[in-house]
Chain A
C-alpha cells in the first residue's frame, strides 16, 4: 500500500547505549515498498498561510508497544506551522472518538509551539540552532505542548534535508519581529462578514462600561471608581485604557509617576474588602527623590488605609515570594520529565520519579502560590482587611495571585464566562507580557517565564480537588494552555493592550484597507466542533440554585463558613448569596474595627493562617462559596492530563477517571431522554431533537488519556517496566535475611 514499515522486536535487546537511543534504524525497516509513490496528502493552509519549504520521503517514527513504526511522508514548513503529511492510520479512525482541533492537526506543530529541536548525528543527540555545518540524519522536535516528534531524514534528498532543517530552525528559533507574526497575515487575509466574534459572554475589559459592570457585580462601586485617565495610553503604556481606582484618589496622581504607585482595584469581596494591586515606584538612589516617593506613597496610602474603617495590608510579591527565574528554572526541569524520547527513558526515570519531581520543585512552587492566595484570602475574609499586592510591574505574580484569589473566592470566576473574563481582566488588560513570557518572538530567552501556565496549573489543582465547583473541565484548561501557542488569536500575543492597539488598532492601519479580522481564543468554535466542545463543559457542575428568601434561611447553617472570630461566634453570621446587602458593609466594618484591636496579624500570621485553613477544611465545601485547596504534600499533584497525555506507556486502556465521567454523562443523557418522554406523553408534544451525544458517550471504552490519546496501542498487551530495582540502601541486610525465622509455630 504505502511506504510504511514495521520494526518488530521487544525492548529487551539493549546494547550499551550511546547518548541517544535510535530505535528505528532505517535499514531495519522493511522497505520493500520504497519506490511506492507517496499518496498525496494535501496540505491544509489557513488564510494567509504560505508554504516555505518542504522535504519528501521523510520517515515519521511512531512508537507502539515495543514496536516502532515508520510512516513515510512529506515534511513541510509554513509561516504558521511545521506539518507532516503522511498516510497515518489514525486518519482512518472514525471521527467518533476524535477530539480534533480544527486549526492544529495531529501532525501539525505551530512554529510557536516548538520548544527545542535536536538532531541525531551518528547516534548522538545534539541541540540544533543557528547555522549548521552538518545536517542530521534525524530530527527530534520537542513541543511546548509536550509532544515529541521524530523525523528520520535518511531517505530524503540531501538538498531537501538542508532546506527543511535550516528552514525549520530559522523559522522557529531565530528572533522575529512582532510585525512578522502570522497573526497579521491571518488577520489581513481572512475575509469575514461577521464583524465581531462570539465571545461567549466574556467581558473583555477594553471599555469603561466593562469595568463599571464589574464594579457593579462585585458591589465595589461605593468605594471605587472606573477612570479613563489613560485613554489613548497618554499616561502609561503598561496600563489599560480604563481601570478602577479608589474613589477618593485624585486622578492627577495617576500620571505623577506614569501609573506607578497607584493602587489599582482588582476585585471586591462581599464584605466590602477589596483586592488591589500596585506597581512599585522605580528604584532610586537619590535621597531627595526617595523622599518625594515616600511622601507620594504616604498620601496614596492614606487614601485607602483609614483605620478603623479601612485597613490595608500590603503584600510585596517582589520580595519573600517566588522569583521569576525560580519559576522558569523549575518548569524547565519539570517539563523535561515529560518530554520522553522512548520507552527505555520512560522506565529508567520511573524508579526515581518522585525525587525527580521534587527536584524540579514545580509542585512546591504551585503549593506556595496556593498558599499565598489563601493568606490573602484570610486577610480579606477573616480579618476584614483590604489587601494591596505590590510588584515591580504588577503584571506577573500580581496577576497570578490576584486571579487565584478570585477563583477561590468568587464563584462567578468558576464559570466559563467568568473565568474567561477574569483572564481578560487580570492578564490581558492587566498587561501580562505574554509575548515576552512565552518568548513568542524568540528575542530574549531571559524573559521567558511560564507564569500563566503556573496559574493554569494552580487552577487545575482546584478543579481536581473540587470537581463540582467549576463549570469547565481539566480538558478546557489543557486546550487553553495549548492555545498560548496558536498565533491566530490575539489574546496571548501582545505584551499589553497598548501594544495591541498600536499594532492592530484603527490608527495602525491604512484608512483604505479592509478591517482586520481579529479572533479571541474564547471563540472556541474556531478550534473545536460543537461535539468536541462538550468536553470543555463539566457535567458535574450545577449552577447556583436561585433561592427565595424563605428558603435561604435553611442554608445558613449548612454553608456557614464564618470564621474564627470571637465576636461572630454567638451570632450566626449567615452566608447568604455571594454578595450581601449594602447594609452589611457597615456592620462588617464596625466589626473590622474591633478585630484590628484584637489581632496583631503580623505576629500571628502563621497561626491565624493555619486556623483559617483548618477551620475551612473541617466543614463540608460549599461549591458556590469560598473554595480553598488542600496544600499538603500528597494533595498537590501532577496535572496528568496535560503532562502525560502523549506518552503511550502512561496510558491506561479502558481506565482512568474518564471511565467514570463517561458513565455519568451516559446516565445524564438517559435521564434527559426519559424526561423528554414523560413530557411527550404528558403534553402530547413532540420530543425536541436530541442533542448530539457527547464524545464521551459514543465510545464504550476510552483510554485514560482521552481525549488526547492519539497513539493508540493495541489493547491486549500490557506495558511492562523494563528497568529494575533500585538499591535499598540501609535495608540491604534485611533483604538478605531468611524469609522465616520460626517454623509453623502453634500449628
Chain B
C-alpha cells in the first residue's frame, strides 16, 4: 500500500473495540498483571486511549518483553512472515510461551500485534513442502476456535518450521502430551476470589428454598447418585432419597429431575433432567411416574405438568432405539409434552462452520443475506429463544410447572433453563447474577465443557465438540440487544467470557463436571475467571442498566430482530468494525460525569449557603433524589 501508512485501525488483530481476552495483559508488564485493579479502575473509554497511545508511542522499545502472566514461561521466538488476510504479508517476530503466541511486527510502518492464547488453537497444519515455490507458501496454518485462522510463512532452511510446529503442538495441546493445562501453572493473584461467587445453598436460599414443598438433599455428596450432577440438589419434599435412587435408574446417566428455579410468587418451578429410559419396548417406571406427579403437586393451582422435550419429535422417537425416549401420555397421565425442535450438537457445529465460511476472512458481499440464511445459525438461535420463552411464559403465567430435558440434559436443557431463568429473574441480569447462572446451570450441572471445547486436546475433529455454550451467549447477546437497559453487563463481558472459554487461563470452564473438578482440585489449583471480571467490574458494566425487579423479559424471537453478532463473529475484519465506543454510550458517560460534577458543586454551594437557607430545594427533581435510580447497583 504505497503512501498509506498502516494506522492503528487497519491492524486487524489489535482491535480497538473489545480486546480479546489476552489483551488484558498485552500492554502491561507481568508484574502489573498481578495487580489488575490499579490498571482497570478507570472507565473503559479512557482505558482504550491509554492503550492506544502506549502502543503507538515513539519511544517504545522494540525488544520490550512480551507480556507475561505470573507463571508464564517463554519458550522460543522466531522471525516469521505473518500473512494477514486483510493487509497482506507482514514481517514479524513471534514469541511462544506456555500460554500464548505473541507476534510483533518488525516493519516500521505497522504496529501490528497478535496476542493469541494457545488455548484457542484447534488445529495446526503445515502448508507447503520442501518443493514449494511461490512466495510465502511454506509455513504453518493455524485454525482457531474463535473464528479465525493464522498463517505464518517461514524460511525453508534450518528446521524453523519443524521447531515451531512441535513447540506449538506441545503447548497448544498439553493434554495430548501429558503436560498441565496453563490454568494449573498460572500464578495470577486477584483481590477478589471468583470461586466464592457461587454458593449453591445461598443461591437456593435467595430463591426461598428449602420450603414446604422442596428440600435440599446431599444424596449426591460423593457423586454416587449421579456423577455428572453437583453434590447438592433440590428435590420435592415428599420424595425420599430412596425414591430418588429408583428414579435415577430410569433416567439417562442418572440425571434425575431436580429443581432449577422456583417462581417467587406462584411457586411454579423449572425442573431439569435427562430423557427417560423408555426404549423400544416402551418400558415404564412407576417411581419415575410418581416422582413427576409429586413435582406437579408442589404447585396446587394446576392439574398438569408441562414437559418440554428440547429435541425435534423425530429425534426423540429415534432415541428409543438406543434405550432413550420421552414421556408418553399413557404412562404420564397428568403431563403435557411439547417438542421444541432444537437440533443436536452436530447440526450446531456444522452451522457455525458455515458462519465462519461466510465471514472469514472475507465477508460475503452481494449475497450476504441468503448466505447468512443458509448457515441456519440464526434459525437455531430463534428456536432456542422460542423454547426458552415458552418455558418462561408457562412458569410466569402460573399455569404450570415445567420439566425440561433433551437427551442427556446437559446441552439444550442447559440452554433452555438458563435462558428462561434470565428472562424470569432479574437477578441473573446483573454481573454477579449472571456468573451464578453460568456457574449453576452450566458448570455445576455438567455441561461437558471439556468435550465440547476440547481444552488442550489435539483431536480437532472430535465429534463431541460443539458450540453449545457460544450459542447460549449469543442468545444472551440477542436479548441484551433487544433490551439495552436490562442487563448490568455489556458486550465486552460476554466476549471476555467467550475468550476465556477457550484460553485455558482460568479453571472456570475446565472439565466436564463437578466430580472431575473436585478430583483435580480445580478451585484450589486454578484461578476463576470471575476473579478477573469482578476485580475489573467497571470495564464490564453497561452504563444504561436500570435495575428492575420482577420484570419478565420476553425477547421477540423473530428473524426481523435477530442479527448476526458482528462484533464477535466478524471482529477480526478491520472493515466491518463498528464504532467503538458506542457514541450513545460515550455521550451518556460524559453526561454522567457532568452530572456528578454538578451535584458536587451544588453540594458545596449548599454548604456555603446553609446558614442562610434552612430548607434546601425539595422539588421532585432534586439531585439527591435523582441519585439512587441512576446509580447502578452491586
Contact = CB atoms under 8 A, between A and B. Distances in A.
Interface residues of A, number: 87
B9 interface: yes
Interface in A645-668: 649-657, 659-661, 663-664, 667-668
Interface stretch (B155-163, B298-306, B571-579): B571-579
A577 interface: no
Contacts of B343: 728, 735
A566 interface: yes
Given A466-B579, A745-B451, A644 B228 contact: no
Contacts of B346: 734-735, 737
B556 A744 contact: no
Counting chain B CB atoms within 10 Å of each CB, which of A564, A724, A737 scores highest? A737
B600 to A, nearest CB: 10
B389 A718 contact: yes
Interface stretch (B72-80, B177-185, B370-378): B370-378
B556 A633 contact: no
Interface string B418-459: 000000000000000000000000000000101100000000
B410 to A, nearest CB: 10
Interface string B334-367: 0000000101111100110000000000011111
A324 B363 CA distance: 29
Interface string A338-371: 0000000011001111110110000110000000
B369 A354 contact: yes
A551 to B, nearest CB: 19
Interface in A187-229: none
Interface string B20-59: 0000000000000000000000000000000000000000
Given A355-B369, A742-B464, A736 B595 contact: no
A677 B363 contact: no
B45 to A, nearest CB: 12
Contacts of A634: 363, 368, 372, 563-564, 566, 570, 576
A615 B4 contact: yes
A664 B592 CA distance: 10
Contacts of B560: 350, 353, 638, 640, 644, 650
Nearest to A643: B560
Interface stretch (B134-142, B477-485, B494-502): B477-485
B386 A652 contact: no
A675 B365 contact: no
Interface stretch (A154-162, A315-323, A617-625): A617-625
A638 B562 CA distance: 12
Contact of A739 (B411, B512, B555): B411
Interface string B377-410: 0110011001001101100110000000011100
B201 interface: no
A737 B344 contact: yes
A617 to B, nearest CB: 6
| Interface of chain A: mostly helix, strand, loop or mixed | helix
Interface string A233-247: 000000000000000
B579 A618 contact: no
A357 B552 CA distance: 32
A386 to B, nearest CB: 23
A618 B516 contact: no
A602 interface: no
B363 A633 contact: yes
Contacts of A635: 566, 576
A667 B369 contact: no
A655 B558 contact: no
A117 B558 CA distance: 28
A670 B621 contact: yes
B512 A747 contact: yes
A358 B227 contact: no
A694 to B, nearest CB: 14
Contacts of B368: 358, 632-634
Contacts of A741: 463-464
Interface string A17-42: 00000000000000000000000000
A566 B2 contact: yes
Interface residues of B, number: 109
Interface in A706-747: 716-721, 724-726, 728, 731, 734-742, 744-747
A678 interface: yes
A537 interface: no
B7 interface: yes
B386 A720 contact: yes
Contacts of B386: 720-721
A657 B484 contact: yes
A614 B10 contact: yes
A632 B363 contact: yes
Given A540-B583, A640-B560, A726-B379, A674 B602 contact: yes
Contacts of A357: 369
Contacts of A725: 312, 341, 379, 383
Point out which of A632, A682, A744 has the most chain B C-beta atoms below 10 A from its C-beta: A744
A350 B560 CA distance: 7
A735 B344 contact: yes
A611 interface: yes
Contacts of A720: 386, 389-390, 393, 557
23 contacts: A353-B560, A355-B373, A467-B584, A468-B584, A566-B2, A617-B577, A633-B366, A634-B372, A634-B576, A644-B560, A651-B556, A652-B556, A667-B588, A671-B594, A681-B602, A728-B343, A734-B347, A737-B346, A739-B344, A740-B408, A744-B227, A744-B512, A746-B512
Given A632-B363, A656-B482, A731-B347, 5 more contacts: A468-B584, A565-B3, A635-B576, A663-B544, A735-B315
Interface of B: 1-5, 7-10, 227-228, 253, 312, 314-315, 318, 322, 341, 343-347, 350-351, 363-373, 376, 378-379, 382-383, 386, 389-390, 392-393, 396-397, 406-408, 411, 448, 450-451, 463-464, 482-486, 511-513, 515-516, 544, 546, 551-561, 563-564, 566, 570, 574-577, 579, 583-584, 587-588, 591-592, 594-595, 598-599, 601-602, 605-606, 609, 617, 621, 623, 626, 630
Top-3 shortest CB links A-B: A633-B368, A718-B554, A618-B9
Interface of A: 346-347, 350-355, 357-358, 363-364, 465-468, 540, 564-566, 569, 611, 614-615, 617-621, 630, 632-635, 638, 640, 644, 649-657, 659-661, 663-664, 667-668, 670-671, 673-675, 677-678, 681-682, 704, 716-721, 724-726, 728, 731, 734-742, 744-747
